[in-house]
Amino acid sequence: MLIVQKYGGTSLADGEKIRSAASRAVGLARQGHRIVMVVSAQGRTTDDLIRRAAEINPRGSSREMDAYLAAGEQLCAALTAMAIGAMGHPAVSLTGWQAGIDTDGCHGDARIRAIRCSRIRKELERGKIVVAAGFQGLDPDGDITTLGRGGSDTTAVALAAYLKADKCQIFTDVDGVYDRDPRIYADAVRFGRISYDRMLTLIENGAQVLHDRSVELAKAHAIAVEVLSAFTGAPGTIVGDLESL
């Protein structure tokens, strides 16, 4: 199987968590699966970068902000690839543009227009785990763009669509999608399955567990997306077309 696995910032916050994600990917690769990991920046890196940039220039250009913020995911991708290497499995980290992700020129909120998959396919054929930096791409002028806060989810679903992946998994710090934020409401109820439209409504009402465009893209390409805990790996919530699930 070709599996796309996305890991959020909290799920990669320190060396131990990076090793845990890396070891899940290596385990699957050793079973014969082809793995593309999509990573967010570690922990609160993006917030820290935004704060630091504001100290230098509170009205910094959106082009420079994108160039700055995209680095968070790149650092994490390289570190994750190194963790995989330390486990004796080949891996390669790719920035958004190395991964062939083309976007429009809307800095800070860019949309993916197309993905040129040849580099990723080549690396997979060489037996490598590909670790793609989430949240970023390149615009028609050749400038770095970012996809909006939480945008690594969209990178993962877009890659799953263009690579025709068999599975798309979003690993996060909760064990699925709930009817309300489980960190705030102790009595929140978890969904085993949820439709794209219900998921989009939850997001509209403030559930930032998935980036809205990732769900729109999943719906457009009929991709079932599993949201699950990076810490347990136990089955989570399938976001999909309920009829075909």
Chain residues in the site for ligand ASP (CB under 6 A): 8-9, 40-41, 46, 72, 134-135, 149-152
What phi, psi does 192 have (nearest 5°)?
Answer: -80, -40
H or E segment to which residue 159 belongs: helix 152-163
Minimum Å distance from CB 66 to ligand ASP? 12
DSSP 62-114: HHHHHHHHHHHHHHHHHHHHHHHHHTT--EEEE-TTTTTEEE-S-TTS--EEE
233-236 contacts, C-beta under 8 A, 24 or more apart: 233/24, 233/171, 234/175, 236/175, 236/176, 236/177
Task: Please count the other Cβ atoms lying within 10 Å of the Cβ belonging to residue 127.
Answer: 11
Binding at 174: pick from ligand ADP, Mg ion, ligand ASP, none (beta carbon under 5-8 Å per type): ligand ADP
Nearer to ligand ASP, 9 or 176 (CB): 9
Question: In whole angstroms, what separates CA 88 from the centre of its chain?
Answer: 24
Window 128-157: contact mask with Mg ion (x via CB under 5 A):
----------------------x-------
Cβ-contact 167, 179 below 8 angstroms: no
Minimum Å distance from CB 148 to ligand ASP? 8
Binding at 43: pick from ligand ASP, ligand ADP, Mg ion, none (beta carbon under 5-8 Å per type): none
**Of 21, 22, 157, 177, the one binding ligand ADP by CB under 6 A:** 177
Count of residues near ligand ADP by CB under 6 A: 19
Minimum Å distance from CB 124 to Mg ion? 25
Residue 126 interacts with ligand ADP (CB under 6 A)? no
Cβ-contact 190, 26 below 8 angstroms: no
Minimum Å distance from CB 189 to ligand ADP? 10
> How far apart are alpha carbons 105 and 99 in whole angstroms?
18
Window 197-216: contact mask with ligand ADP (x via CB under 6 A):
-----x----xxx-------
Tokens standing for residue 13? 């916050």
Minimum Å distance from CB 51 to ligand ADP? 18
Cβ-contact 165, 226 below 8 angstroms: no
Minimum Å distance from CB 55 to ligand ADP? 24
Q: Which residues bind ligand ADP (CB under 6 A)?
A: 8-11, 40, 150, 172-174, 177-178, 180-183, 202, 207-209
